[in-house]
């Protein structure tokens, strides 16, 4: 007789249990089912850390390191920095060690972090909504010249990155930035990163709604607060009130896209769970309509879901996109409304596809009758000197405002009609072209091996040289619609390679002589929703399609000419690339 417990009342009684069948000779006993491993979801598994990153984040959060930088590390120098601060908490204040010069891409995966890194830092200045005053721009320019060897890159997240920063100078840099209302707080790390916002918010004659107040409502209340400073991984946000949908909303963790609801008026379509990197996934609509006043609350609810339910056990599964893939948008919306908002959002249809290009290049009318002028540097590369000249130029025509875009471009606002030609020509003299070639207009590149410890190949110089060659070779096609060319130095897709017409993922490849050389795996036909594309889609990867960095201009020229010859009427490059046989794409 075996004692068992009643499922109904928990009482123990003497009940006969059937004998288990005898095992045959040599048979192994049945292995009990293995309990599923916890994913580190705080609301499901508890908050016990499951890896080293989660452990140090709980022991001492990333925000705390600022005091040590100011009181210890800036005084005692690089060698005084502890490992968990240097390779962890510094990111919460926009600081990464940069790559030591002269280390080739073949060693990126074989050397330890301390062997790859230099004693200098990349510093990311957080610029929510891409909005800068000329005073702020000049402060960044002076920091670049005084402390960063005149380096400056406009990123595809509307930030500015400086290089060659020494820890001894960081407190003075913070003092200068904060004196004009700028910060590096949570510019990196497992936190809410910079909030992307339409770069023409509040000025474009054709915008639906000014998202500036909503961006401020998020950043002023929630950035730098301890309760949101330990997320499973980074958290990316985008808001747009412009019909071009100019903030790449499909690849952010949460995004708000303005449109005119047929019954409720102008508000926002809510998207969640987008992200690229090595496991790309496009965001999904929640089917919910959000008013302007609700945006900060909805944003806060989504980021709390990520904090409480996001997967923390494995870093490569810790983005919100993995939770959404398992839950689906219906469950996600239900949890958002019932556990975090306390009310139901209105249902809403999708926003219509973009009606105009979203890079804002060229001269455009503002709602007040003045003009904004969008200009393209080479793949975001500028300098402190150039930024200072832009500030001077803007002020010389009575402007006090500039904007940065998610496409590595720069806008000068508030230009009177009489000064348009002068501003355009002066920008061009400073390497910023308001009437660029199709390739200069639509090429972006990540930091690459010049500064990044993860990179395998050069990006900025390779992309710049390719643009110059294509302008010479394809001048007869100057009327073609710009094709996006995105150049990335590693598989992590900071340059959004899966959503480009031609996306290039850096790696070492074999040349014709059988030697390993810098090159790229090619992705073709990707893109986000645009004025000539109904919805976002990933690029096509052709097996074995790789190109060396040296051969890149030849390959792109050959591909573009083949497209121009073979396309069917108004067929886009993406449509052609997805229907063509593999040989046509080589």
DSSP per-residue codes, 72-123: IIHHH-GGG--HHHHTTGGGGGTEEEEEPTT--GGGTTTS-HHHHEEEEEEE
pLDDT at 68 (0 to 100): 98
pLDDT at 113 (0 to 100): 85
pLDDT at 1 (0 to 100): 33
- By CB neighbour count within 10 A (0-12 exposed, 13-18 middle, 19+ buried), where does 391 fall? buried
Over the stretch 534-564, which tens digit does the pLDDT of each residue have? Answer: 899 999 998 899 999 999 999 999 999 999 9
Instruction: Give the residue-averaged pLDDT of 94-123.
Output: 96
Residue 90 pLDDT > 80, yes or no? yes
Residue 29 pLDDT > 70, yes or no? no
**Angstrom distance (rounded) from CA 243 to CA 204:** 10
pLDDT at 28 (0 to 100): 65
Give 139-173 as a 3 state SS string: HHHHHHHHHCCCEEEECCCCCEEEEEECHHHHHHH
**Contact indicator for 516, 106 with CB cutoff of 8 Å:** yes
Q: Which residues contact 441 (CB under 8 A, 6 or more apart)?
A: 359, 361, 376, 482
Q: What is the distance between the terminal CA atoms of the chain, rounded to a whole angstrom?
A: 75
Would you state the structure tokens that stand for residue 128, as one six-digit string? 């929510």
Give 475's pLDDT tier (boundaries 50, 70, 90): confident
pLDDT at 27 (0 to 100): 59
Residue 430 pLDDT > 60, yes or no? yes
Instruction: Give the residue-averaged pLDDT of 266-293.
Output: 97
pLDDT at 30 (0 to 100): 65
Instruction: Give the residue-averaged pLDDT of 56-62.
Output: 96
pTM of the complete model: 0.93
**Angstrom distance (rounded) from CA 45 to CA 47:** 7
pLDDT at 14 (0 to 100): 35
Q: Which residues contact 382 (CB under 8 A, 6 or more apart)?
A: 152, 153, 154, 410, 431, 432
Question: Minimum mean pLDDT among 4-13, 62-71, 120-129: which range?
Answer: 4-13
Average pLDDT score, the chain: 94
User: Quick one: what percent of the chain has pLDDT higher than 70?
Assistant: 94
Instruction: Give the residue-averaged pLDDT of 68-77.
Output: 98
Over the stretch 168-217, which tens digit does the pLDDT of each residue have? Answer: 999 999 999 999 999 999 999 999 999 999 999 999 999 999 999 999 99
pLDDT at 480 (0 to 100): 83
pLDDT at 421 (0 to 100): 98
Give 36's pLDDT tier (boundaries 50, 70, 90): confident
Over the stretch 484-497, which tens digit does the pLDDT of each residue have? Answer: 999 999 999 999 99
Instruction: Give the residue-averaged pLDDT of 430-440.
Output: 96
Give 383's pLDDT tier (boundaries 50, 70, 90): very high
pLDDT at 110 (0 to 100): 94
- By CB neighbour count within 10 A (0-12 exposed, 13-18 middle, 19+ buried), where does 83 fall? exposed
Give 354's pLDDT tier (boundaries 50, 70, 90): very high
**Residue that wins the pLDDT comparison between 322 and 16:** 322
């Amino acid at each position: 007789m075996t004692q068992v417990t009643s499922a109904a009342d928990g009482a123990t009684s003497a009940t006969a249990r059937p004998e288990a069948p005898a095992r045959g000779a040599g048979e192994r006993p049945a292995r009990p089912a293995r309990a599923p491993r916890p994913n580190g979801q705080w609301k499901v598994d508890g908050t016990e850390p499951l890896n080293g990153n989660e452990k140090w984040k709980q022991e001492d959060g990333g925000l705390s390191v600022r005091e040590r930088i100011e009181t210890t590390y800036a005084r005692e120098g690089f060698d005084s920095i502890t490992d968990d601060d240097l390779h962890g908490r510094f990111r919460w204040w926009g600081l990464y060690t940069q790559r030591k010069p002269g280390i080739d891409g073949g060693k990126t995966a074989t050397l330890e972090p301390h062997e790859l890194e230099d004693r200098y830092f990349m510093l990311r200045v957080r610029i929510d909504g891409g909005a800068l005053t000329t005073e702020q721009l000049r402060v960044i320019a002076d920091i670049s010249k005084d402390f960063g060897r005149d380096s400056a890159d406009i990123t595809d997240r509307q930030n500015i990155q400086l290089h060659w920063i020494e820890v001894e100078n960081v407190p003075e840099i913070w003092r200068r930035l904060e004196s004009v209302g700028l910060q590096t707080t949570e510019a990196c790390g497992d936190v809410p990163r910079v909030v992307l916002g339409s770069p023409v918010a509040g000025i474009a004659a054709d915008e639906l709604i000014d998202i500036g107040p909503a961006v401020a409502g998020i950043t002023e209340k929630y950035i730098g607060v301890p309760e949101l400073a330990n997320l499973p991984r980074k958290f990316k946000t985008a808001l747009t009130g412009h019909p071009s949908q100019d903030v790449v909303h499909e690849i952010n963790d949460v995004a708000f896209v303005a449109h005119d609801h047929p019954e409720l008026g102008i508000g926002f379509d809510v998207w969640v769970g987008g992200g690229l990197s090595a496991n790309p996934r496009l965001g999904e609509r929640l089917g919910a309509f959000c008013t302007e006043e609700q945006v900060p609350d909805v944003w806060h609810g989504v980021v709390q879901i990520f904090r409480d339910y996001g997967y923390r056990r494995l870093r490569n599964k810790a983005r919100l996109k993995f939770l959404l893939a398992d839950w689906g948008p219906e469950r996600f919306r239900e949890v958002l409304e019932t556990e975090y908002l306390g009310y139901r959002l209105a249902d809403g249809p999708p926003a219509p596809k973009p009606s105009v290009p979203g890079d804002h290049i060229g001269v455009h009318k503002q709602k007040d009758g003045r003009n904004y002028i969008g200009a393209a540097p080479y793949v975001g590369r500028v300098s402190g000197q150039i930024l200072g000249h832009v500030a001077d130029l803007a002020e010389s025509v009575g402007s006090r405002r500039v904007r940065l875009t998610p496409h590595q471009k720069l806008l000068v606002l508030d230009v009177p009609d009489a000064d348009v030609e002068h501003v355009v020509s002066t920008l061009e003299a400073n390497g910023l072209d308001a009437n660029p070639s199709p390739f200069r207009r639509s090429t972006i590149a990540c930091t690459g091996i010049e500064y990044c410890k993860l990179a395998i190949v050069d990006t900025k110089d390779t992309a710049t040289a390719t643009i110059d060659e294509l302008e010479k070779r394809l001048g007869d096609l100057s009327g073609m619609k710009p094709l996006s060319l995105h150049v990335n130095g590693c598989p992590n897709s900071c340059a959004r390679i899966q959503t480009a017409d031609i996306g290039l993922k850096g790696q070492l490849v074999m040349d014709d002589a059988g030697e390993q050389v810098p090159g790229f795996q090619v992705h073709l036909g990707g893109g986000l929703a645009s004025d000539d594309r109904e919805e976002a889609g990933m690029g096509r990867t052709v097996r074995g399609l790789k190109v060396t960095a040296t051969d890149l201009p030849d390959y792109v020229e050959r591909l573009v000419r083949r497209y121009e010859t073979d396309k069917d009427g108004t067929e886009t490059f993406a449509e052609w690339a997805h229907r063509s046989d593999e040989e046509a794409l080589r």
